[in-house]
Amino acid sequence: MTPIFPLVTPISTHEMESYFDRLWPICRSISGNGLRSSFRILQELMPLELIEYTTGMEVFDWTIPNEWNITDAYIITPEGEKICDFKKCNLHIVNYSIPFEGEVEWEELRSRFFTIENQPDAIPYITSYYKETWGFCIDYNTLQRLPKTGKYKVVIQSELAPGSITVGHCVLPGNTQEEIVLSTYLCHPSMANNELSGPLCMAYLYQQLAAVENRKYTYRFIMAPETIGVIAYLSEYGQHMKAHTKAGYVMTCCGDDAPFVFKQSKHENGAVERATQHFFQHANLPFSVIPFAVGGSDERQYCSPGFNLPMGSITRSMYHRYSQYHTSLDNKDFISFDAMKDSVQAYLSCCLVLENNPKPLCLVPFGEPRMGKRNLLPSSIEPNDKRRQDIDRMFHLISWSDGQHDLIEIAEKRKESILYYLPILKKLIDEKLLSI
C-alpha cells in the first residue's frame, strides 16, 4: 500500500497544458483587462465569483489604486531597431508604467532600464504599482550593444484611470462550517512557476475536492492579486475567516519537479502543520519543512497579527530560491505538467488527512472487546501471517480510541500513515465498536 491518497478523478496534463498556453501570453497585473480575461478562462475550470474593489476604497491601511491597462510599448533605437517590444514579451514593460511617447536621450533612458547583469539572457520582472513612473526591462546582452548616443523613440500606450481590482472566490460546502482555505494569486504577467502554477493547481484541486463525497469541511477558494487583493478580501471576509478557519494553504510555485517545501503557519503545531507533516513523512516524497517567515506570498496577510490564521504553504522550487524567479526564464521550459499534477495530488492528500482525522471513541471500553464473535479475527493465525500487522493495528486503534486522541496521533504512535487505519476504522464503526 502506497501511503498517498489517490486522485478522486483523473487529471489530464494535456488539458492543463492547453489552459497554460491560453493564459501565458496575457499581460496580467493587480488590475485591468488582462486580469479579468485570465479569470474568465479559469472560470471554465471552477465556478469563481468575481468581486470588484473600486479605486479609492480604503482597505485597512491600504487604498485601492487606479486600474492599469496597456495595449503596446516599445523603443526604437537611433539605428531604427525595435527593442523591448511588449507584444513579443510582456515583461519588457515595467508593470503599471504610465503612458509616454517621445524622444529620449541615452542618458535618461539608461536610468529607466532594468536588467540583471549576472543573468545576461534574462528579462527581469519589475513593478511600480504605487509610484507613477515608467520604465523598461531588458536583458543585459541587448543592453550592452545599444548605442550610447542619439535619440531613442519611446512608446508606451497605457492608461491609469479609476476602475477596480478583481478578486475571485468560491465556497465548496461541507457538513460543518469549519473551513479549509485555499488561496493563490493571479497578477503576474508571463511567468510559469511563480504565476500560473498556483491558479492552475487550484482549479484542478477544486475539481478533486468537489468530487469528494460527504466532505466534513467547507472549502474556501480565493484567487486574488497578491497583497492588495487579499487585503481587500480580508477587509470583507476576514472576521468570518477568523471565526471559521480550521487550516489553509497559499498555493504558489508548485509547477516544477523540485522536492516539496512546506512552510508552516505561525501556529507551528496546529492542524495544518500536523496534517501536512504527517502526510509528507509517510508519502515517500522528498520534502523539507521551514518555519513561518514574512518573506513570501499572501501568508503575510493571512497570518498578520489581527487575523493570525493557520495558513501554511506547499511549494516546489520556492520563491527567491531559484535563479529563474521573477525573470523571463521562469517559462514553460522550467515547469512540468506531470509535476503540477503531483502537486495537486499532494494538496489533495493533505486536505484528506484533515478530513479523515477524527478522535474515535471506543463503545466497548471496559476490557478488550471480544473480536471472535464479530468475525474480526481468524480462528488461528501463524506468527508470520501477513494478516498479523492489520490485527495489531486494529487492537492498537481500539486501545487508543478514548475520544482524546485523533487518528494522526494514534497512527504516529506506530510511526505509520493514517491511510493504514482508515479501512480498519470503518470496519470497527460498522461493527459498532467505535464511533466518531
If one compares 118 and 375, the residue with the highest pLDDT of the two is 118
Grid cell locating 344: 495537486
Tell me: pLDDT of 383 over 80: no
Does 8 map to a domain?
no
Asked whether residue 346 falls in the same domain as residue 387, the answer is no
Predicted confidence at residue 385, as pLDDT, reads 62
What is the distance between the alpha carbons of residues 431 and 425, in angstroms, rounded to a whole number?
10
Residue 210 belongs to some domain of the structure: yes
Question: Taking the CA atoms of the chain, what radius of gyration do you get in angstroms?
Answer: 26
In a domain, 124, yes or no: yes
Do 191 and 330 belong to one domain? Answer: yes
Residue-wise pLDDT tens digits, 78-102: 999 999 999 999 999 999 999 999 9
> Does a structural domain hold residue 7?
no
Cite the DSSP H helix spans in 285-336: 299-302
**pLDDT score at 386:** 65
Examine residue 2 and state whether it is found in any structural domain, yes or no. Answer: no
pLDDT at position 233: 98
CATH number at residue 88: 3.50.30.90
Q: Does 22 share its domain with 118?
A: no
Q: Is the pLDDT of residue 274 over 80?
A: yes
Helices 33-42 and 13-23 pack at an angle, to 10 degrees, of 160
Q: Assign 373 a pLDDT band (cuts: 50, 70, 90).
A: confident
**Nearest-10 Cα torsion for 81, 82, 83, 84:** 170
Cα–Cα distance between 171 and 89 in angstroms, integer? 35
Looking at the fold, whether 342 and 243 belong to one and the same domain comes out as: yes
Number of H helices, E strands in the chain: 12, 18
CA gap 404, 360 in Å, rounded: 8
Confidence at 69, pLDDT banded by 50, 70, 90: very high
Give me the number of domains the chain comprises.
3
Residue 207 CB contacts under 8 Å (≥ 6 apart), including other chains: 9, 11, 45, 46
- Write b or e for each residue in 60-90: b if 16 or more Cβ atoms lie within 10 A of its Cβ, otherwise e: eeeebbbbbbbeebbbbbbeeeebbebeebb
Do 140 and 210 have their domain in common?
Answer: no
pLDDT at 207 over 80: yes
192 in the same domain as 92: no
3-state secondary structure 327-344: ECCCCHHHCCHHHHHHHH
pLDDT of residue 1 exceeding 60, the answer is no
Q: Residue 138's domain spans which residues? A: 68-161
Joined together, the cell numbers standing for residue 335 give: 515547469
pLDDT of residue 382: 62
The C-alpha cell that represents 307 in the structure block: 487575523
User: What confidence score (pLDDT) does residue 434 get?
Assistant: 97
* 301 and 231 in a common domain: yes
293 and 377 belong to one structural domain: no
Q: Of 355, 373, 400, which marks where a domain is finished?
A: 355
Identify whether residues 230 and 331 lie together within a single domain: yes
Which of 355, 376, 410 represents a domain boundary (last residue)?
355
Q: Closest Cα partner for 207 from 7, 3, 5?
A: 7
Residue at which a domain ends, from 138, 161, 184: 161
Going by pLDDT thresholds of 50, 70 and 90, the confidence category of residue 239 is: very high
Same domain, 378 and 336: no
* Helix, strand, or coil (residue 42): helix
With a pLDDT cut of 90, the percent of the chain lying above it is 93
Contact 171, 49 (CB under 8 A): no
pLDDT of res. 372: 80
Cβ–Cβ < 8 Å for 353, 418: yes
The per-residue pLDDT for range 387-431, each reduced to its tens digit, is 788 899 999 999 999 999 999 999 999 999 999 999 999 999 999
Helix (H) / strand (E) element for 237: namely: helix 228-244
User: Which band of pLDDT confidence, cut at 50, 70 and 90, is reported for residue 244?
Assistant: very high
Q: What is the pLDDT of residues 156-203, one digit of tens each?
A: 999 999 999 999 999 999 999 999 999 999 999 999 999 999 999 999
Decide if 1 is inside a domain.
no
Per-position DSSP letters for 150-208, written without gaps between them? SEEEEEEEEEEES-EEEEEEEEE--SSS-EEEEEEE---SS-IIIIIHHHHHHHHHHHH
Q: Which CATH number goes with the domain that contains 178?
A: 3.40.630.10
User: 105: which 3 cell numbers?
Assistant: 536621450
| 330 assigned to some structural domain | yes
CA neighbor of 221 nearest in space, from 181, 174, 173:
181
376 pLDDT band (50/70/90 cuts)?
confident
Q: Tell me how far apart the alpha carbons of residues 145 and 6 are, in angstroms, rounded to a whole number.
A: 54
Nearest to 312 by CA among 277, 284, 363, 357: 277
Question: Pairing state of beta strands 245-251 and 179-185?
Answer: parallel
Pairing of strands 151-161, 100-105: antiparallel
Q: How many residues does the chain have?
A: 436
Quick check: 408 and 274 in contact, CB under 8 A? yes
Same domain assignment for residues 256 and 383:
no
Could you tell me if 352 and 343 are in contact, meaning their C-beta atoms sit under 8 angstroms apart?
Answer: no
Structural domain contains residue 301: yes
- pLDDT tens for 283-332 read 989 999 999 999 899 999 999 999 999 999 999 999 999 999 999 999 99
pLDDT at 384: 63
In terms of domains, do 273 and 347 share one? yes
Using the predicted structure, report yes or no on whether residue 255 has a pLDDT greater than 70: yes
Q: Say whether pLDDT at 2 is over 80.
A: no
Write down the mean pLDDT value for the chain: 96
Q: Are 63 and 56 in contact (CB under 8 A)?
A: yes
